[in-house]
Amino acid sequence: MFKNSLNLILVLLTLSVTNVSATLITSEDFTSGATGWSNNSTSLINGDRVLGGFNLFGAGAFAQKTFTLSGNQTSVNVNLDFWKGDSWDGESFFVYVNGNLLFSQSYVYHQGTQVAGQQHASWNELLVPISLNYNTTATSLTVRFSSSLNQNPTDEWWAVDNVVINDNVSVPEPTTLAIFALGIMGLASRRFKKQ
Ligand SMILES: [Ca+2]
Ligand SMILES: [Ca+2]
Ligand SMILES: [Ca+2]
């Protein structure tokens, strides 16, 4: 009995690598539109539908959406592809999560290559993959995109694509499982001896 218990504990300890399970909250490529976003205007960049874009998201534009979380998570990952379009001159793109500024980066017109919008020389487009981690036990998550652009969306604009959000839930610690198992086996052993 003791030997079997010891083996079981050893197995549990071996399995007890602390792990985090990730659950997908949303994955949006905007192919079928932008349901639930405060501004759901979409356009095409190279045939790929995006949220916002040329002649849509310039000075003052923002888009936000609120997602439901279980509240069991310890953190969330927010991933997106950001497009900088045309004549940016040092303005910044912002990503807020639950009111907290998690991403702020400035860009200029010549970054990237000629992909969309205006075709003037060096009015380029830049694709920037953004990956953010945010610690929260809240039951909702509001993601907000905005910029400090100060001109019309025919001069300077932005777009977002491939918004993928997952939450991270810590699984019970393996040592706790092993101790719990040991306790159960102890009880079982005592009951067995009584009979
Ligand atoms: Ca897309
Ligand atoms: Ca352009
Ligand atoms: Ca400007």
- DSSP secondary structure, 120-152, as one string: STT--EEEEEEEEEEE---SEEEEEEEE---S-
CATH of range 20-194; options 1.10.1040.10, 3.40.50.1950, 3.40.50.11540, 2.60.120.260: 2.60.120.260
Query: What is the C-alpha separation between 9 and 100, in angstroms, rounded?
Result: 44
Query: What is the C-alpha separation between 131 and 80, in angstroms, rounded?
Result: 7
Nearest to 179 by CA among 3, 5, 2: 5
Give the distance (Å) from ligand 3 centre to CA of residue 148: 8
Give the distance (Å) from ligand 1 centre to CA of residue 186: 57
Q: Is residue 9 scored above 70 in pLDDT?
A: no
Dump pLDDT digits (tens) for 51-106: 999 999 999 999 999 999 999 999 999 999 999 999 999 999 999 999 999 999 99
What's the pTM value of the predicted model, to 2 decimals? 0.81
Instruction: State the chain's mean pLDDT as an integer.
Output: 89
Give the distance (Å) from ligand 1 centre to CA of residue 190: 62
What are the φ/ψ torsions at residue 133 (nearest 5 degrees)? Answer: -120, 135
Give the distance (Å) from ligand 1 centre to CA of residue 30: 5
The closest ligand to the CA of 34 turns out to be 1
The closest ligand to the CA of 30 turns out to be 1
Q: Is residue 44 scored above 60 in pLDDT?
A: yes
pLDDT at 37: 98
Q: Is residue 39 scored above 70 in pLDDT?
A: yes
Query: What is the C-alpha separation between 147 and 60, in angstroms, rounded?
Result: 7
Give the distance (Å) from ligand 3 centre to CA of residue 53: 16
SS percent in the chain: helix, strand, coil, step 5: 20, 45, 35
The closest ligand to the CA of 31 turns out to be 1
Owner of token pair 């290559």: 113
| Band (19; pLDDT cuts 50, 70, 90) | confident
pLDDT average, residue stretch 40-46:
98
Exposure b/e, 163-184, CB count within 10 A at least 16 = b: bbbbbbeeeeebeebbeebeee
Give the distance (Å) from ligand 2 centre to CA of residue 86: 5
Residue ranges of the domains in the chain?
A: 20-194
pLDDT at 38: 98
| Band (172; pLDDT cuts 50, 70, 90) | confident
Give the distance (Å) from ligand 2 centre to CA of residue 90: 16
Give the distance (Å) from ligand 1 centre to CA of residue 176: 44
Give the distance (Å) from ligand 2 centre to CA of residue 60: 20
Q: Which residues surround the ion ligand 1 when the cut-off is CB under 5 Å?
A: 29-30, 48-49, 161
